[in-house]
Copies of this chain bind each other. A is one copy, B any other.
């Protein structure tokens, strides 16, 4: 055996896909604007003052005192699955406990499904502007992305999906947020939902339906999720992050029951199992029956905040700007005049007015950035601060327009 040299003689060799790996632009920006004194519409954060901390603390205490299995390894907690079946009924979805698969947050559901469905170099259909978590989930597979555009009133372009399928493409899946799209704030029309599941069934296209905001509705009629329209081709991703709290890191999938054993093996690879304590405490919280009232309070408060932001945009933003009017969720998407670059705007806004947002390009597939757009979050500020922040942001926009 030779003597060890003082420093490595070799460089560490990483998996090939990591050479193209990028830190999420969104996450980098969130880190930049997370400074004290910044009024931020940037994050996707729920309102912490609305968290049911006391109730959840009671549930934790009850479970820790009464239940010796609460801190141990264990199988998915059946009473939680029963509660999730009931919750799904509130979303208009009929499913069985055998179709419910507990995950460590919806992002894990997405990662597990990607591993189940996507081959390295395979194809997937994504919107040009789409939640960054799905872009991250697919990136190790270096897939060929089939991009589709999104109408800001009716949702993703189903005709474009039909075209790909008609041309012979057989992608591993299509990812959609039919309710309160992140970042666009649009909900898919019923006609498009029906057309999309028809295409899915006809061509054998798995649909991943991400529904973190489906319970947060502020106006209008509840439309059926894709999963309510088709049980064979739709994988539904649910989450407790927005209706209870993100720090639970608890979510669920609704999937065909015959795939649950495979999903289980994949989840074991990832993190063995989700926390028994969290599963049991959330089930104990749900046992109290407090969730429906809590969701009502969330909808009332977030609805007020949305209204405050829409009013402030109307009052302060230039006439050349337009924006989405979300009926639910947490985000508004704004299009400014085409000569305004929102990446530059953010810098000015943070420096001069201590107000932050996320430039639209953070959500774009490579090559699909639109530089005059931005995302605003309305769930994490009180109506007063929203009014003040939108006024300050409009000052910066007006200044930019005047300088052009």
Contacts and interface: CB of A to CB of B under 8 A. Distances in A.
Interface of A: 1-5, 7-18, 21-24, 27, 31, 43-46, 48-49, 51, 53-54, 56-57, 60-61, 64-65, 68-75, 104-105, 107-108, 111, 115-120, 122, 133, 136-137, 139-140, 162, 170, 172, 195, 197-199, 201-204, 206, 232-233, 241, 245-249, 256, 259, 261-262, 264-266, 268-278
A93 B93 CA distance: 52
Contacts of A51: 71-72
A119 to B, nearest CB: 5
Contacts of A162: 1
B45 A73 contact: yes
Contacts of A74: 247
Given A116-B15, A119-B16, A57 B68 contact: no
Contact of A107 (B46, B105, B270): B270
A23 to B, nearest CB: 6
Contacts of A276: 246-247
Given A73-B43, A198-B4, A204-B9, A248 B268 contact: no
Given A4-B202, A139-B269, A15 B69 contact: no
Nearest to A198: B4
25 contacts: A1-B195, A2-B198, A5-B201, A9-B204, A11-B204, A12-B206, A12-B259, A15-B115, A15-B118, A16-B119, A24-B268, A46-B72, A51-B71, A60-B61, A61-B61, A72-B246, A107-B270, A108-B271, A111-B270, A133-B272, A136-B268, A140-B266, A247-B278, A249-B273, A270-B270
Contact of A53 (B71, B170, B195, B204): B71
Nearest to A22: B265
Given A57-B65, A269-B111, A23 B247 contact: no
B140 A115 contact: yes
A266 B57 CA distance: 31
Given A9-B204, A271-B271, 19 more contacts: A1-B195, A3-B198, A8-B233, A17-B119, A57-B60, A57-B65, A60-B61, A71-B247, A71-B248, A73-B241, A105-B271, A108-B270, A111-B271, A133-B269, A246-B276, A248-B275, A249-B274, A249-B275, A275-B275
A253 B267 CA distance: 19
A195 to B, nearest CB: 6
Contacts of A45: 72-73
B262 A172 contact: no
Nearest to A171: B13
Q: A-B pairs with the 4 shortest C-beta distances? A: A10-B204, A71-B245, A247-B276, A247-B277
